Amino acid sequence: MTNMERTTCLVVGGGPAGMVLGLLMARAGIEVTVLEKHKDFLRDFRGDTVHTSTQNLIDELGLGPRFAQVPHRRIETMRMQFDEGAITVADMRRLPGAHPYIALVPQWDFLDVLADAAAEEPTFTLRRNAEVIDVVRDGDRVVGVRYRDRVAGTEHEIRATLTVACDGRGSAVRAAAGLAPRSFGVPMDVWWFRLSRRDGDPVGGVGRISTGQMCVMIDRGDYWQCAYLIRKGSDGELRAAGIEELRRRFAALLPWMADRMAELESFDQVSLLDVQLNRLRRWDLDGLLLIGDAAHAMSPVGGVGINLAVADAVAAARILAPALRSGGIVPRSLLHRVQRRRLLPTAIIQGVQRAAHKGLFGQIMRDEPTQLPHTATAAGMADAVIPDAPLESLPLPLRLLQRFPVLQGLPARLVSIGPLPEHAPEWARRPATPART
């Protein structure tokens, strides 16, 4: 163990929750240190969606021009393709404001925008390669953490007035603090791999559902980030069936991708993402707050976890910064106000995800995949020309969405704005700063 450091607000984890919290605390003039275990933000698995409410927040923080400079794609409508044809489930163009769309941005670029802005504040420190391994207590109170410098191999202790765990679904802080979330059933895991993207491919996102299988693809410019859903816990058994079986299934789902399936040479290119849906009963201890996935892991359904994590961070900064600025210990009752503020939107979204897990996703994962004919579509097809599914083949809610398109604004609002969007406190706002060249 080497030297001991001190800060006012210690943020563990530099994901969406941690970086937004770090930036806002620094703009409040509070000494804040973010510990991030990786050396950069460049990891393959990061959700890529930046929703309307997060884009509005970025504008309020004066970062709109910088964010606009990051190459991104827009999702204006969400279409799902079934065997019978395609349906539109959400139409973001019906949303109010400057950003009636979801921006698809590699998350490392989004985090870099936040990190650059935070680095302009004199009270902000981001320490990379710093992996938290334990909490430090004084009696029952959490007073900091122990972390390992992954480059030097040394261990350090850092003490803080407040520690905020933003270290995601596998939160080391949560485990060290002895907290365990309540888990809700999840029927699926996700295989995650890349395939090249070619001229004439659809733009934005692609979703495809068939009996017993489903995939989603995110447009990252010159390649597709592909997610193929598998039954929870079936990774080993499916890998044993060989990569050829995955290639065959994927090409049958999306025949216009068949010409590039040979790019998947082995399962080394396929990562398993363990899907979880859970929530802590209490998000705080004396001296410690947990937010984002560390407090409530989100399923990928609807792609809303980043939005919620960011909203938690904004609420936490607004509620806690005044107390931290005035010095002294932050009472637990004040920490608990963050959970009181964010519990309802979290529970609503998790409720929708649980219903989707039980219904549509549960059904897909229960069924055995059927052999699909290779006739549905041609290479180079844009999603606009995928024929609409006949209305009579759809369940009532989907039929209503197709018959009255104005209703497509409701799922768009739930996904892209969400219940109780958070806005930047006055003290965190800045005039728009021009993009740096």
**How near is the Cβ of 79 to ligand FAD at its closest, in Å?**
16
Q: Tokens for 350?
A: 């998790």
Amino acid found at 432 = A
- Which residues on adjacent β-strands are paired with residue 406? none
Alpha helices in 92-208 (DSSP H): 107-119, 172-176
- Identify any residues that bridge with 391 across adjacent strands, giving them in sequence order: none
Nearer to ligand FAD, 20 or 324 (CB): 20
Nearer to ligand FAD, 61 or 298 (CB): 298
Residue with tokens 């995939």: 215
Nearest to 334 by CA among 280, 281, 284: 284
- Please report how the helices 107-119 and 16-27 are oriented relative to each other, as an axis angle in degrees rounded to 10: 20
Residues facing 64 on adjacent strands:
none
- At 232, list the tokens: 């929870």
CB of 40 to ligand FAD, least distance (A): 10
Q: Which residue is nearest to ligand FAD (CB)?
A: 305
Q: Please name the residues in contact with 325: beta carbons below 8 A apart, sequence gap of 6 or more.
A: 28, 29, 30
Residue 390 Cβ vs ligand FAD, minimum distance, rounded to whole Å = 30
Q: Minimum distance from CB of 19 to ligand FAD (Å)?
A: 8
Q: Which is nearer to ligand FAD, 37 or 66 (CB)?
A: 37
Q: Which of 346, 408 has the CB closer to ligand FAD?
A: 346
Q: Using only C-alpha atoms, what is the Rg of the chain? A: 22
Q: Which is nearer to ligand FAD, 190 or 315 (CB)?
A: 190
Report how far residue 394's alpha carbon sits from residue 421's, in angstroms, rounded to the nearest whole number. Answer: 32
CB of 363 to ligand FAD, least distance (A): 19
DSSP string, 285-317: ETTEEE-GGGTS---STTS-HHHHHHHHHHHHH
Name the minimum Å distance from CB 304 to ligand FAD: 5
In b/e form, how buried is each residue of 157-187, taking b as 16+ CB within 10 angstroms?
A: bbbbbbbbbbbbbebbbbebbebebeebebb
Q: Least distance (Å) from ligand FAD to the CB of residue 41? A: 7
Would you tell me which residues interact with ligand FAD (CB under 6 A)?
Answer: 12-18, 35-38, 47-49, 131-132, 166-169, 172, 190, 273, 275, 292-294, 298, 300, 303-307, 309
HEC sequence for 45-82: CCCCEECHHHHHHHHHCCCHHHHHHCCCEEECEEEEEE
If the CB atoms of residues 18 and 100 are measured against ligand FAD, the closer one turns out to be 18
Counting Cα atoms < 13 Å in the Cβ hemisphere of 356 gives 14
At residue 256, φ and ψ (nearest 5 deg) are -70, -5
Alpha carbon distance 267, 275 (integer Å) = 19
| CA–CA separation, 307 and 313 (whole Å) | 10
Angstrom distance (rounded) from CA 292 to CA 166: 6
Q: How far is the CB of 132 from ligand FAD (least distance, A)?
A: 4
Cβ(255)–Cβ(374) below 8 Å: yes
Considering the complex, state which of residue 252 and residue 275 has its C-beta at the smaller distance from ligand FAD. Answer: 275
Q: How far is the CB of 389 from ligand FAD (least distance, A)?
A: 24
Instruction: Give the shortest CB-306-to-ligand FAD separation in angstroms.
Output: 3
Q: How far is the CB of 47 from ligand FAD (least distance, A)?
A: 3
Which of residues 16 and 106 has its CB atom nearest to ligand FAD in the complex?
A: 16
Give 13 or 287: the residue with its C-beta nearer to ligand FAD: 13
Q: Compute the distance between CA of residue 44 and CA of residue 271 in angstroms, rounded to an integer.
A: 9
Q: Which is nearer to ligand FAD, 31 or 48 (CB)?
A: 48
For ligand FAD, give the closer residue by CB, 372 or 412. 412
